[in-house]
């Protein structure tokens, strides 16, 4: 880890001014191509071994986490746990920061490259954790990133238990970042699993946490923990471990940024149609090459070839579009869950 004076990786108390300043100076050295709020976010992460990055969607949480974790634990390896729909986006973002980075995307198939390359990145979706957790626990991760960490909001779920197994029971002390765009302080119960991942003192007992911050009440059958209480105190408690910026508070953004999101489709999707398209293109090119003595009949043949080519391209596009439906639904559900949460709590 890069040296920061008087750095205490186990403390949830805000770092000292000396630690904050050293982290900010390191972040400035990594600032090329970044917005000012991203440099500030990287400095926040570097000053803490474990933390929660809760910026609004679109403010670049992925890039901030990649830059910070590579600097905090430069030797790797790193594990990213995220929804299936954004696994390839993580690969793209990692490659933009480090083009030579080795990335292994786990998809549950028998053809997976395993074990991952030393010092590289492994990206897995939450739904596959149960199948891979034994192998993952056996690797001394230098850093763990939980993307869309509100997926872990039920602290009693198997998904959350597996996440804690990786972050807390794996030996060593990996850097741990939990990323979420949901304003979790409006429903404190959902925040508790993230506090467990970052080893915040408030996460020692859910019942104690719920009584203090979830307006917990016993109805004779069990504890009801859907409420919220003492939110100002909770916000103060989170200052040392969580940073959240809203889009309207960030003044250095351009009006709109558009990005491509890659999705996985079966390897043979539309392969027959694309093969026919290539054959048709070659045929058209060959006929054009011999077109010096073109007759009306050969001209009609070329026009017919172009029509058939367009039909085959349309068929290939339809099949590719159909193959992306599941990933698209998954991505929309993630974004809609974030938007719904923001609307409900605004």
d(CA 120, CA 332): 29
The mean-pLDDT minimum among 38-47, 138-147, 181-190, 221-230 falls in: 181-190
The whole-number pLDDT of residue 317 equals 79
Domain boundaries, the chain: 17-249, 271-290+297-323
The whole-number pLDDT of residue 128 equals 92
CA distances from 274 to 72, 262, 266 (A): 45, 19, 14
The whole-number pLDDT of residue 342 equals 46
CB-CB contact of 270 with 321 (8 Å): no
pLDDT grade, residue 58 (50/70/90)?
A: confident
d(CA 43, CA 33): 15
Superfamily of domain 17-249: Tandem AAA-ATPase domain (3.40.50.10810)
Judge whether residue 81 has pLDDT over 50. Answer: yes
The whole-number pLDDT of residue 69 equals 96
CB-CB contact of 47 with 23 (8 Å): yes
Strand order in the sheet with 242-243: 103-105, 121-125, 78-82, 143-146, 175-179, 50-53, 242-243
Give me the helices (H) in the chain, please: 17-28, 36-46, 61-72, 87-97, 129-137, 158-168, 188-197, 206-213, 231-238, 271-289, 296-323, 325-345
257-313 tens-digit pLDDT: 566 777 777 777 777 777 877 777 777 677 666 654 555 555 566 566 667 777 777
Helix, strand, or coil here: 229? coil
Judge whether residue 327 has pLDDT over 50. Answer: yes
180-220 tens-digit pLDDT: 987 666 789 999 999 999 999 999 999 999 999 999 999 98
Q: Exposed e or buried b for every residue in 292-304, given b needs 16+ CB within 10 A?
A: eeeeeeeeeeeee
pLDDT grade, residue 66 (50/70/90)?
A: very high
């Amino acid at each position: 880890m890069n040296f920061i004076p008087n750095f205490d990786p186990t403390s949830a108390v805000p770092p000292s001014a000396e630690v904050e300043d050293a982290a900010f100076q390191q972040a400035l050295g990594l600032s090329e191509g970044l917005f000012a709020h991203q440099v500030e976010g990287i400095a926040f992460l570097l000053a803490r071994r474990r933390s929660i990055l809760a910026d609004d969607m679109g403010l670049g949480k992925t890039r901030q986490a990649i830059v910070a974790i590579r600097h905090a634990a430069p030797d790797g390896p790193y594990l990213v746990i995220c929804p299936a729909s954004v696994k390839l986006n993580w690969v793209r973002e990692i490659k933009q920061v480090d083009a030579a980075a080795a990335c292994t995307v786990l998809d549950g198939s028998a053809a997976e490259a395993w074990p991952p390359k030393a010092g590289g990145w492994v990206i897995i979706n939450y739904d596959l954790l149960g199948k891979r957790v034994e192998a993952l626990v056996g690797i001394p991760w230098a850093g763990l990133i939980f993307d869309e960490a509100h997926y872990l909001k039920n602290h009693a779920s198997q998904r959350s238990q597996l996440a804690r197994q990786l972050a807390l029971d794996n030996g060593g002390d990996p850097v741990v970042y939990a990323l979420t765009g949901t304003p979790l302080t409006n429903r404190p119960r959902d925040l508790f699993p993230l506090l467990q991942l970052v080893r915040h003192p408030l996460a020692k007992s859910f019942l104690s946490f719920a009584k203090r911050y979830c307006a917990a009440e016993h109805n004779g059958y069990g504890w009801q923990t859907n409420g919220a209480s003492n939110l100002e105190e909770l916000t103060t408690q989170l200052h040392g471990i969580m940073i959240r910026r809203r889009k309207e508070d960030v003044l250095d953004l351009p009006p709109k940024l558009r990005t491509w999101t890659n999705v996985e489709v079966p390897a043979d999707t539309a392969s027959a149609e694309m093969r026919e398209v290539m054959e048709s293109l070659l045929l058209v090119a060959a006929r054009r090459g011999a077109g010096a003595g073109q007759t009306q009949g050969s001209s009609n043949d070329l026009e017919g070839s172009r029509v058939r080519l367009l039909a085959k391209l349309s068929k290939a596009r339809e099949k590719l579009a159909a193959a992306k439906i599941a990933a698209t639904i998954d991505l929309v559900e993630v974004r809609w869950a974030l938007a719904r949460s923001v609307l409900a709590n605004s």
